C-alpha cells in the first residue's frame, strides 16, 4: 500500500497540488489534497487461490474558498481517472470515475488567520489490484 499511495501522491503533486497522506502539517500549503485509505483490505479469490486488493481511496480536496474546491475537483479527477498507481507487489487497475462524491463543505475545525475557514470536497475511488 505504501508504494501505491506514494505513486498517487507523486502523480497529484505533478498536477501542482501538495498531497498529504492521513496527516496534514500545522501550516499546510493551500490548496492541497489529502489522501486516506485502510492499510489494504484483502479479498480471497477462491478460483485463483490468491488474495486480491479491494479497497477505497479517499481523496479530500481542500481550498481557502468553496469554488476553489470545484476547480480542484476537475483537475484532480482528470489526473486520477485512467491512472494506475505503481506498485512492486500489486497489478492495480486504472482508477475509474469516483464511485461517491460528497458535498463541498466548510471545515469549522480549522481557522485560517484573516481568511475564515477552509473548504473541502471528498471523492471516493475504488482501489483494486491483484498480486504480481
Domain ranges of the chain: 2-131
CATH architecture for segment(s) 2-131: 2-Layer Sandwich (3.30)
- For the stretch 4-18, pLDDT in tens is 899 999 999 999 999
- Please name the residues in contact with 106: beta carbons below 8 A apart, sequence gap of 6 or more: 66, 117, 118, 119
Average per-residue pLDDT for the chain:
90
Determine which of 5-14, 70-79, 91-100, 110-119 has the lowest per-residue pLDDT on average: 110-119
Q: Cell triple for residue 6?
A: 506514494
Ranges of beta strands (E only) in the chain are: 18-21, 32-36, 42-45, 50-63, 90-92, 100-101, 105-106, 119-131
Q: Are 5 and 37 in contact (CB under 8 A)?
A: yes
Position 81 pLDDT exceeds 90: yes
pLDDT confidence of residue 10:
97
Q: Residue 54's pLDDT is what? A: 84
H-only helix segments in the chain: 2-13, 66-80
Q: Over the stretch 19-42, which tens digit does the pLDDT of each residue have?
A: 999 999 988 999 999 999 976 655
Provide the 8-state DSSP code for 64. Answer: S
Q: Cβ-count burial of 70 within 10 angstroms (0-12 exposed, 13-18 middle, 19+ buried)?
A: middle
131 or 120, greater pLDDT = 120
Q: What is the structure's pLDDT at 59?
A: 98
Amino acid at each position: 500500500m505504501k508504494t501505491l499511495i506514494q505513486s498517487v501522491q507523486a502523480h497529484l503533486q505533478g498536477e501542482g497540488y501538495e498531497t498529504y497522506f492521513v496527516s496534514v502539517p500545522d501550516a499546510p500549503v493551500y490548496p492541497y489534497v489529502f489522501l486516506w485509505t485502510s492499510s489494504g483490505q484483502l479479498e480471497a479469490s477462491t478460483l485463483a487461490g490468491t488474495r486480491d486488493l479491494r479497497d477505497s481511496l479517499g481523496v479530500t480536496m481542500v481550498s481557502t474558498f468553496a469554488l476553489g474546491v470545484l476547480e480542484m475537483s476537475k483537475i484532480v479527477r482528470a489526473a486520477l481517472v485512467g491512472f494506475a498507481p505503481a506498485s512492486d507487489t500489486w497489478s492495480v487497475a486504472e482508477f475509474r470515475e469516483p464511485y461517491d462524491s460528497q458535498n463541498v463543505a466548510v471545515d469549522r475545525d480549522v481557522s485560517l488567520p484573516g481568511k475564515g475557514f477552509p473548504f473541502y470536497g471528498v471523492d471516493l475511488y475504488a482501489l483494486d489490484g491483484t498480486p504480481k
